[in-house]
């Protein structure tokens, strides 16, 4: 999944989509001129996929609510911390799903299920708050509301950034919280899995309580495969947080290591980074450095998701 610059996709991006080298696109504020512009853009991207005989794209956006809305005129109007009840959360999410689907967006990178330890945490109002049970109830309601409208929800940032000392988008972060404390914050993610959430986004922070190596979660098989898929029983699509962030990008062959860990969708914010990652994955697969079984399993899960939400 790749980001791109501007409100018009480049000829190179459209060509790569047609060639089957891109399976998804993420839209940021700089890509959005108007609702009509987004609808036209999504249609053009999907047309490129069809022209190559490829499956439809996953087209994603961060529409969490409040200040984090790439489409500022669309719901949810309130930030997660401002929601008063599970019913309101579900209603706001359903409205967002209707709005996004109408524009051709089929994946919302929300809700944030990190239970913060303090209002001063960098996530701020993006989190449902400091109470695990509130996060669980309102987060699960958000998942159900969004997916009731045919738009995939994304539980993030597994296994949790509620105690992170800094933003993983700009810092290499290690979570020093005990395993017991981390386990307590898994409850909202476990509930989302039970509710059938379509995607789980894996964090770029390191969690020594779960993986003593300190690897970013997105590169850790102990966290993605053993904890998320094994212990929590998640069978849907895993997606990385931005792999160009300081944590994962500090490791050679991060794209290959993420797939080996059990990540299905690799997220890059730029075309050049996504193209380079595709080349590395292809080289590793052809050279035997990346098991084809891992790629086939990821492809099967993504294909199933696309059958349900991509148009």
Q: Which residues are catalytic?
A: 172, 241
Helix, strand, or coil here: 11?
A: helix
Structural tokens at position 141: 């309601």
Cα–Cα dist 173/259, whole Å? 21
How far is CA 64 from each of CA 61, 83, 254, rounded to the nearest angstrom? Answer: 9, 12, 27
Query: Are the C-beta atoms of residues 166 and 203 closer than 8 Å to each other?
Result: no
Cα–Cα dist 294/284, whole Å? 12
Query: Are the C-beta atoms of residues 192 and 140 closer than 8 Å to each other?
Result: yes
Structural tokens at position 104: 């051709």
Query: Are the C-beta atoms of residues 61 and 108 closer than 8 Å to each other?
Result: yes
Phi-psi group of 65: left, alpha or beta (phi > 0 → left; psi -120 to 50 → alpha; rest → beta) = left
């Amino acid at each position: 999944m790749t980001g791109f610059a501007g409100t018009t996709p480049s000829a190179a991006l459209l060509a790569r989509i047609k060639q089957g080298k891109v399976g998804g696109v993420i839209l940021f504020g700089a890509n959005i001129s108007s609702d009509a512009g987004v609808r036209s853009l999504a249609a053009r991207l999907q047309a490129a996929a069809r022209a190559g005989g490829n499956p439809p794209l996953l087209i994603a956006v961060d529409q969490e609510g409040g200040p984090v809305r790439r489409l500022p005129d669309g719901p949810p109007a309130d930030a997660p911390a401002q929601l008063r009840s599970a019913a309101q959360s579900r209603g706001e999410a359903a409205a967002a799903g209707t709005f996004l689907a109408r524009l051709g967006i089929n994946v919302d990178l929300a809700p944030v299920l990190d239970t913060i330890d303090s209002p001063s945490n960098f996530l701020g109002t993006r989190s449902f708050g400091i109470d695990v049970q509130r996060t669980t109830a309102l987060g699960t309601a958000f998942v159900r509301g969004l997916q009731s409208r045919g738009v995939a929800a994304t539980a993030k940032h597994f296994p949790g950034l509620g105690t992170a000392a800094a933003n993983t988008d700009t810092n290499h972060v290690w979570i020093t919280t005990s395993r017991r404390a981390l386990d307590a914050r898994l409850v909202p993610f476990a509930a989302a899995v039970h509710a059938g959430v379509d995607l789980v986004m894996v964090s770029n922070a390191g969690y020594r309580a779960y993986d003593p190596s300190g690897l970013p979660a997105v590169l850790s098989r102990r966290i993605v495969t053993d904890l998320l898929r094994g212990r929590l029983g998640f069978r849907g699509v895993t997606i990385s947080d931005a792999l160009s962030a300081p944590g994962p990008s500090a490791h050679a062959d991060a794209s290959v290591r993420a797939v080996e860990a059990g990540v299905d969708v690799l997220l890059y914010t730029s075309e050049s980074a996504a193209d380079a990652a595709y080349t590395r994955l292809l080289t590793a697969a052809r050279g035997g450095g990346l098991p084809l079984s891992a790629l086939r399993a990821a492809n099967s899960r993504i294909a199933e998701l696309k059958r349900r939400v991509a148009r």
